[in-house]
Structure 1
């Protein structure tokens, strides 16, 4: 498909670095995609998100179809113009949110009917409608419509769900059609069952996609089980296409995924944590709510160059969080997104220079030290 290509630049073990080229700009991999659920990364201006080093954002089909509506966004010039973000956007299919958020949902071969969690209105989402919504939004990378059962689930349920998702993947590809400059990614399912993952990967390879996602993880199975699955799942997918692990995660989850051959990730964690007083730093997590920060004139992270660390003390960040001031979520979210992008840049450089194992050792050693001692 013209307009979106993937160039693998270097590997170190199973870790990979490269670039996804789109008509709206390059996405350096491994890439972390901040989540702009409702056409905004919460508490951030789009130019601030770009300043953290993000090459691409994720938008949520389910949320945008309910409010303000895909047709309205299309009339207003598409999602990029609507939210003032000129770089690439990936939209998810809506399948996961339907399963996790919608009320009174009914699943059939055709698709899912459900009631909106916003106002109770009735909607139907099918592979065809998901492709239409994502076309109206104008996203650069479109995801197949799939079903994602929460884990743990019994094998029969996972098998049935995966095969339905593969039938929906074929329908998604047919409905996507020929859209130069836009990419369609398939989604591997199969829970924690290697044979079902292989069956799913083969079905997706036979259909043929511009990139491949690993779905159905980070849904309650725990890090050990997720890593055990990632020990084999990425290698079942084509080597010359991007591999995207959906909904991950904490910094050590991301590192573990990259180590196992994943190229792209997304997660609400850095922005959600920022709004609840949690900061991610190279020394691990800091809870700014804690009283120990109230008189601390030092920055959150002395090595960080984000505005929160450059210009404000822990004492100030503690105060504005306690006072319920909006700037608290803004500064901590900026810091967290900056840290996540710094993490990705560090991994890209380490892979390119063939020192990924050493970088990983430093990452874990620094985190093991824990936060700086209280004054």
Structure 2
């Protein structure tokens, strides 16, 4: 089953205003004026001084300057938390650590609506972007920057990125500076992140012209990198609206030693609200870029767009919108854009307007009004970015993107395009028009080659964690299109196997939310005693779930209205899903478990369809053995689905095991025949924890070496057990003592290594030295040079003294 994804982003609004590069609307007329208006802003607003380590805490007073990173960490990027493709990261620089996702406010060195120092002190903004071409072109700015550095020029202690003049060439025509000259200039003024002079590709350019722009940009890479020397350099991705050229640009630019990859040429697309095209650019590009480098959305900074772009893997944004919208009396919001003249009450109450009514702001002079609205817009933007970060930590970034997609029709169309399979190829456009019944149908890809995007969407899906700590909140039809839900269903259907390969009858339990064990265990035990080949499944809002996995997250933990469990099932779709679970179904029976007298109702149903001749009658003395058989099947299926153990090996492993039962009747611990605790089914998410002894037992059954000759493939090595990760000898002693595995010490790994799953850690000789929870996939494990690759859950130094 293939779906697809990509995220679309911007909003209605003149996107030059939303662009980083728009800071020089009329660069030649600017004079060097500093208009911080801080006294007006602070009038009547006294904030308690807050001293803390969190840079994002808003405060009054002055913050300490940033601490430079360690020299060995400079220019490295690490991921500290994730939700699928969404990442919380840290970029290490000489002017401190830049936490991502991050907004880099655009600063025009000639006109400063908010002073950079205030951005650092008050808002804790760790990085900003300014334009090196403007500095280079104005003699007074150029001289100051060359003598004292760009940080002194704009009075800002944090990370400074500079643009090269590419956008100016798009707006005004050719720039006057050379390819190497502009990079050398950026290096000479002490920027942290420079940008090469690429060739801008517009959406109205022909494919041949865009191809030439891509080629010219690539030809400039080597000279630009040489001129940058030790300075981090942006390698922009161009390619217009052409999928193949975007991919080619990403692959070839990624082969050079750039530090960050901005996705360029998207401003004119956003200006025209061509969000579906933007979504296609994102899908075509992100999967081809080196994962260890941040991805920057050049010219995108409207808060409505953050959640979708972050969900697809964007790390950096830049924007002058906070100031440009303010000059035009417009207010930014995650819900869209408002005009001050239409505002009666503030859409969101933030510190900048706590003492101001909209009417009072309208009466201010232009300078004061712009200053206040700029701070309002900046605070709204930062608040939405913080909301997105929290969603990543909670594992709900895609749900937030769902909500935001409803804020603009074109954005909604793009979102639906991402998450909806295309129409089959070969159908005429006239026929397809007749098939359009709703927004989702209208958003489907109609092109004969629409299926080509499925490969790109599958990369988004494959990087989702299979299990989550929290339950799933129902969000309507969008719920089943969430990438992590698609992953959970596909993973279950790929790994789980029924007890019989021949024709069998299937009983589907429906009509009641979990937990199902308390209500249905006795029924299941009695059914299995008389119909041992009967496959029993539970119908959940997210799909069918084998009864042996009835507590598995996310299927068992859906927070939604009661009708979800009571709706009438479509038998045609039900049979298709049963087939995807590899069950050769003969008769399919549906039992409403919301009824009273459940065993009696089940007997009546089975007799009616000829599976029984008389009501269920079981000698209760057989129940203990039947319950042990069910518990054994539950452990076997969790080993198969969650630990990638083959069915035969799992059966053999637990055959002689005993169980410690908790107070709720669930298996708490699994004990092997030697008395060793090897496994523990988890109550919170229905998962399976492997102990140190258990890892030795499972690893001892593996006969194949590390399959490191393949790219990342979550379904490779079926039945080989948890993925292996081989570390250098220098790390062995630390891992044995329970220390985490860090990037830079990994030699190779199995291609099915996936973030959020258990993996086994071995030395170069194949000796097991630990196990833990992977924080990355196979590609990332080998490419990152900073951060935690595996959170170790073992301590062999204590277990095997």
What is the CA–CA distance in structure 2 between the aligned matches of 1:329 and 1:99, rounded to whole Å? 27
What corresponds to 1:201 in structure 2? 250
What corresponds to 1:187 in structure 2? 236
Q: CA RMSD in A?
A: 2.2
Q: Which has the higher contact order (CA 8 A, sep 6+)?
A: 1
What corresponds to 1:355 in structure 2? 396
* TM-score, normalised via structure 1 length: 0.83
Corresponding residue SS for 1:187 = coil
1:43 maps to which of 113, 136, 146: 113
Aligned pairs for 1:170-319 within 5 A = 170-177=222-229, 179=230, 182-220=231-269, 222-290=274-342, 293=343, 296=344, 298=345, 300-301=346-347, 303-307=348-352, 309-319=353-363
What is the CA–CA distance in structure 2 between the aligned matches of 1:312 and 1:364, rounded to whole Å? 31
What is the CA–CA distance in structure 2 between the aligned matches of 1:95 and 1:187, rounded to whole Å? 10
- 1:330 equivalent to 2:371? Answer yes
What is the CA–CA distance in structure 2 between the aligned matches of 1:84 and 1:52, rounded to whole Å? 15
1:139 maps to which of 191, 202, 212: 191
Give the length in aligned residue pairs: 334
Corresponding residue SS for 1:349 = helix
Contact 2:167–2:200 (CA<8 Å) still a contact in 1? Answer: yes
What is the CA–CA distance in structure 1 between the aligned matches of 2:371 and 2:361, rounded to whole Å? 10
What corresponds to 2:55 in structure 1? none
Contact 2:303–2:380 (CA<8 Å) still a contact in 1? Answer: no
Bigger Cα displacement from structure 2, 156-165 vs 53-62: 53-62
What is the CA–CA distance in structure 1 between the aligned matches of 2:172 and 2:336, rounded to whole Å? 31
Q: Quote how far apart the aligned CAs of 1:355 are.
A: 1.5
What is the CA–CA distance in structure 1 between the aligned matches of 2:79 and 2:313, rounded to whole Å? 12
- 1:8 equivalent to 2:108? Answer no
What is the CA–CA distance in structure 2 between the aligned matches of 1:160 and 1:284, rounded to whole Å? 36
Contact 2:202–2:265 (CA<8 Å) still a contact in 1? Answer: yes
Q: Quote how far apart the aligned CAs of 1:63 are.
A: 1.4
Q: Quote how far apart the aligned CAs of 1:2 are.
A: 5.5
Corresponding residue SS for 2:287 = helix
- Residues 70/195 of structure 1: CA separation in 2 closer, same or farther (3 Å cut): farther
Higher Cα Rg, which structure:
2
What corresponds to 1:160 in structure 2? 212
What is the CA–CA distance in structure 1 between the aligned matches of 2:162 and 2:371, rounded to whole Å? 24
Corresponding residue SS for 1:220 = helix
What corresponds to 1:371 in structure 2? none
Contact 2:234–2:259 (CA<8 Å) still a contact in 1? Answer: yes
Corresponding residue SS for 2:401 = helix
Q: Quote how far apart the aligned CAs of 1:90 are.
A: 0.4
- 1:24 equivalent to 2:68? Answer no
Corresponding residue SS for 1:86 = coil
Q: Quote how far apart the aligned CAs of 1:198 are.
A: 2.0
2:182 maps to which of 120, 130, 136: 130
Contact 1:99–1:148 (CA<8 Å) still a contact in 2? Answer: yes
Bigger Cα displacement from structure 2, 212-221 vs 238-247: 212-221
What is the CA–CA distance in structure 1 between the aligned matches of 2:307 and 2:397, rounded to whole Å? 10
Q: Quote how far apart the aligned CAs of 1:149 are.
A: 2.6
Contact 2:161–2:193 (CA<8 Å) still a contact in 1? Answer: yes
What corresponds to 1:372 in structure 2? none
- Residues 148/282 of structure 1: CA separation in 2 closer, same or farther (3 Å cut): closer
Q: Quote how far apart the aligned CAs of 1:249 are.
A: 3.4
What is the CA–CA distance in structure 1 between the aligned matches of 2:244 and 2:399, rounded to whole Å? 34
- Residues 166/2 of structure 1: CA separation in 2 closer, same or farther (3 Å cut): farther
- The one-character-per-residue Cα deviations of 1:281-340 (angstroms, maximum 9, x if unpaired) are 3443221134xx5xx5x5x24x53322x212111111222xxx43110000000101111
Q: Quote how far apart the aligned CAs of 1:58 are.
A: 0.5
- The one-character-per-residue Cα deviations of 1:78-109 (angstroms, maximum 9, x if unpaired) are 1111111001110011122123124xx3xxxx
What is the CA–CA distance in structure 1 between the aligned matches of 2:393 and 2:400, rounded to whole Å? 12
What corresponds to 2:150 in structure 1? 79
Structure 1 gap ranges (5+): 106-113, 115-123, 369-375
- Residues 289/136 of structure 1: CA separation in 2 closer, same or farther (3 Å cut): farther
What is the CA–CA distance in structure 2 between the aligned matches of 1:69 and 1:188, rounded to whole Å? 33
What corresponds to 1:118 in structure 2? none
Contact 1:148–1:161 (CA<8 Å) still a contact in 2? Answer: yes
Contact 1:148–1:216 (CA<8 Å) still a contact in 2? Answer: yes
Corresponding residue SS for 1:272 = helix
- Residues 2/129 of structure 1: CA separation in 2 closer, same or farther (3 Å cut): farther
- The one-character-per-residue Cα deviations of 1:44-80 (angstroms, maximum 9, x if unpaired) are 1223323234221101122111124564033441111
Corresponding residue SS for 2:204 = coil
Structure 2 gap ranges (5+): 1-71, 410-801
Aligned pairs for 1:361-372 within 5 A = 361-363=402-404
* TM-score, normalised via structure 2 length: 0.40
- The one-character-per-residue Cα deviations of 1:14-51 (angstroms, maximum 9, x if unpaired) are 222211121212211111111002265x3112233232
What is the CA–CA distance in structure 1 between the aligned matches of 2:328 and 2:379, rounded to whole Å? 17
